[in-house]
Amino acid sequence: MNAALGDTVEAEKVRLDKWLWQARFFKTRGLAAATVKGGHVRVNGNRVSKPAQVVKLGDVLTFAQARTIRVVRITTLGSRRGPASEAQTLYDDLTPAPEPQDKTFVSPNPRYEGKGRPTKRDRRKIDLNIPGALE
């Protein structure tokens, strides 16, 4: 009877690196462990540096993924690393919406403002407009 009680307590907690891997935030468990070990993950606002840190339901995780900061709340502890649709049920995404970016385009070559590569004729015109080209 005590074994069953121990199993339920054990099932309510899981290692942080394992949960991040099961939720498909990282491709391998080693990458998840390295990120946690580097101190790049926060659990409930506290920086964590041990991959074996135990997480439970309701914990809020903050970490960098690609170029965004992800904030997620654990809703379910997974038993396996399943498909992406199953992994998305393990958490609630609390990440704020990205700020709208200015869509103005600045050409790296201010002399040619057209689209794509200039034609041979356009390149000749550009070359002739350069001061000192024929001197």
> Could you tell me which residues come within 8 angstroms of residue 18 by beta carbon, excluding any fewer than 6 positions away?
29, 32
CATH of the domain at 55: 3.10.290.10
Beta bridge partners of 132: none
Q: Output the pLDDT for position 133.
A: 53
| 98 within some domain | no
Q: Give the number of domains in the chain.
A: 1
The answer as to whether 20 is a domain residue is yes
Q: Which residue range is the domain that position 78 belongs to?
A: 7-93
Cα diameter, the chain: 96
How far is 45 from 62, CA to CA, in rounded Å? 8
**Residue 117, domain member (yes or no):** no
Q: What percent of the chain has pLDDT over 70?
A: 78
Q: What is the pTM of this model?
A: 0.67
Helix (H, G, I), strand (E, B) or coil at 82: coil
In a domain, 18, yes or no: yes
pLDDT attached to residue 1 = 47
Residues of the chain with pLDDT under 70: 1-11, 102-115, 131-135
pLDDT value, residue 47: 96
Q: Across the strands, what pairs with 63?
A: 41, 70
